Amino acid sequence: MKKILEKLQLKDVNVGACAGPDDWFEDPAGEEIVSYNPTTGEPIAKVIQATEKTYEQVLNLAVEGFKAWRVMPAPKRGLIVRDLGEALREVKEPLGDLVTLEMGKIKAEGHGEVQEMIDICDFALGLSRQLYGLSMHSERPSHRMYEQWHPLGAIGVITAFNFPVAVWAWNAAIAAACGNTTVWKPSSETPLTAIAVQHIANRVMADHGLKGIFNTTIGRGAVVGERMINDPRLPLISFTGSTKMGRRVSEAVARRFGRTILELGGNNAVVVAEDADLEMAVRTILFGAVGTAGQRCTSTRRIIMHESIAKELADRIVNAYKQVNIGDPIEEGTLMGPLVTKGAVEDMMAALEKAKEQGGDVLFGGNRLPDLGEQFVKPTIVKMPGQTEIVHIETFAPILYLMEYTDIEEAIRLHNEVPQGLSSAIFTTNLLTAEKFLSHEGSDCGIANVNIGTSGAEIGGAFGGEKETGGGRESGSDAWKGYMRRQTNTINWSKELPLAQGIKFGD
C-alpha cells in the first residue's frame, strides 16, 4: 500500500484544498478525515478538509484561471487535456489500485475506471476541434446569422464514491476542452483518489505554466457542498449522487438561476424475453448486479422475466451467483469486494427485511460475511410476488429482484413503473420485440440496450437518464453543450436596416 501512495505523491496527512501546482491551501481550522480501506477497516491516510477560508482561496484562483483559459484556442486546450491523458496512462496501475483500496471495487474495475479517464481525455482532444455551432439563413437580405458556443466559467463538479475518478474526468476533461475551469468536491469516502488526481493534473499544468484550471476542495457536504451549490461564481453544478440530494442541489442552483447537470439514482431492469439467449443474459445479469458490489448507478437491480423461462432463468442466475468469488478486491480472481461503509451494509440488510415483509423469497444470499470483514455481504437474489414498494426504491447494494411477466406490454409497464429512468436492457432474439422496447412506447430510460446489460457504458455516448435520474447528460455525444453557453449572432453586411417579420418602424 505504501508504494502505491508514494507513486501518487500521497502522504500520511494530505491537504484537501488545491488550485494548482504551488497552490495547496491549508487552514489550521480544517478538520481531518480519515480514509479507511473498506476491505480491512484499516486507515489508509488522512486529509485536512477545506474550510470557508481555503474554499475561497480555491474559488478565487478558479475564477481567475478561467480568464486565461477561455482565451486559449480550443484546440490548444485540447492538447493540454491530451497531456493529462498521457499522464494518466503513466499512473494507470497505481491509481487503479488506489481506487480499489479506497472504495473496494475489484482491481479490474479500478483499472478500467482509470482507462475511462484516459478515453475521455482522448475524446476531449478530438472534441476541441469540433465545438460546432449551426449557421442559419437569415430572412433579412445581406444578413448572416449563426450561433457559437462560449465557455461558462468555473464549474462545480460534485462526485460520488462509486466512481471516484472517472466521473470527475467525464466532467473535467470535457469542461476544460470547452474552456471552463472546474472545482471538484469528491465524496468524503474517497478523498485520496481525488488528491492523487489533483497531483497528476498539477504536474501537467506546471508543464504549461497554468493554475486554477483543475481545482479541488475536499470537505463535508454540509460545508463545502452547500457552499458550492449556493455560490453564484459557479454557473454550472454537475452533481452525481442520489435523487434526494439531487433535488436539494437542483432547488438551490435554480434559485440563483444557475445550471445543473444531474446524474442521479437508477433502478435499472433487464427484461428477459421468452426467446432470449439465456446464457448471454445470465452472464450479463451477473456482471450488472454483482459488479462493483451492486454500487453502480447503472447496476442491474430488477429482472423482468417471461413466465415461460422464469424458473430456468432463476436457477441459472442462482448457479452463477454460487461461483462468485468474494474477497479482497485487490486480489486477482476476486469478483466482488466489500460495500463502501458499514452504513451501506445496514441499509442493505434493512431493505432485505422490507423485501421479505412484502412477500419476497430470498433465493440466494441475504446475509453478511463477517469472516471476510464487517463490510462484506453475500450478493442476494429475491424473487418478488410483484413490483412492491421496496422494488421501487434504489438500494445501493447487490440485491437483485426477480419478477415475472406475461406479455411484452406488461414487461414494459413494469419496467417503466419505477420513478427512476437511467439504464435499461432487453434480451431477445425477436427484432420486433427489440424495436418495441427501444421505441417511444418502450423503455423510458436515458439508456436502452438490446442483448447487452444495463451497466458498463462507453464514454462515446451521452450518459444520463430521465425522470428522477435528473435528465442530465455527461461524457460523449453532444453532452459538451451542457458545459457551454449558446450565443446567436446576426451580422448585417448591408447599408439597410430591415427588421425581422417585415416590420416597418418609422420608415
Partner 1 sequence: MDPKVTLETQIEDLVQKFPEAVGFLTRKGIRCIRCGEPLWCTLGELLKEEGISQSQSVVDEMNEFLK
Shortest Å, Cβ 265 to partner 1: 6
Residue 64: φ, ψ to 5°: -65, -45
CA separation, residue 395 to residues 99, 216, 324, 376, 391 (Å): 22, 29, 21, 16, 9
* Closer residue to partner 1, CB minimum distance, 345 or 402: 345
- CA-closest candidate to residue 265, choices 300, 240, 290: 240
Catalytic residue among 18, 121, 178, 297: 297
* Closer residue to partner 1, CB minimum distance, 320 or 345: 345
Pairing of strands 380-383, 17-18: unpaired
Pairing of strands 447-450, 420-421: unpaired
297 annotated active-site: yes
Cα–Cα dist 58/426, whole Å: 46
Cα–Cα dist 447/461, whole Å: 9
SS3 491: strand
263 annotated active-site: yes
Cα–Cα dist 334/330, whole Å: 8
* Closer residue to partner 1, CB minimum distance, 243 or 284: 243
Instruction: Please check whether residue 228 is in contact with residue 183, taking contact to mean a CB–CB distance below 8 angstroms.
Output: yes
* Closer residue to partner 1, CB minimum distance, 42 or 346: 346
- Quickly list DSSP for 401-424: EEEEESSHHHHHHHHHTSSEESEE
Shortest Å, Cβ 478 to partner 1: 26
The Cβ-side half-sphere exposure at 114, using a 13 Å CA radius, reads 27
- CA-closest candidate to residue 189, choices 104, 89, 298: 104
* Closer residue to partner 1, CB minimum distance, 277 or 347: 347
- Cell numbers standing for residue 349: 440488510
Report the amino acid identity of residue 193. T
Cα–Cα dist 343/293, whole Å: 15
Shortest Å, Cβ 225 to partner 1: 5
* Closer residue to partner 1, CB minimum distance, 44 or 245: 245
- CA-closest candidate to residue 365, choices 333, 403, 325, 318: 318
* Closer residue to partner 1, CB minimum distance, 65 or 104: 104
Shortest Å, Cβ 155 to partner 1: 19
Grid-cell match 492538447, residue found: 79
Shortest Å, Cβ 129 to partner 1: 36
Residue 459 has what DSSP assignment?
T
Residues 6+ apart with CB under 8 A from 500: 139, 140
What sign has the CA pseudo-torsion 146, 151, 152, 153?
negative
Residue 444 forms beta bridges with which residues? none
Footprint of partner 1 (CB under 8 A): 160-162, 187-189, 220-222, 225-226, 241-245, 248, 264-265, 295, 297, 339-347, 349-351, 353, 393-394, 396
Pairing of strands 466-467, 420-421: antiparallel
Cα–Cα dist 278/262, whole Å: 34
* Closer residue to partner 1, CB minimum distance, 94 or 464: 464
Grid-cell match 498539477, residue found: 202
Shortest Å, Cβ 197 to partner 1: 19
Catalytic residue among 102, 116, 263, 394: 263
What sign has the CA pseudo-torsion 104, 157, 111, 477?
positive
Residue 23: CB atoms within 10 Å: 17
* Closer residue to partner 1, CB minimum distance, 93 or 374: 374
Active site residues: 263, 297
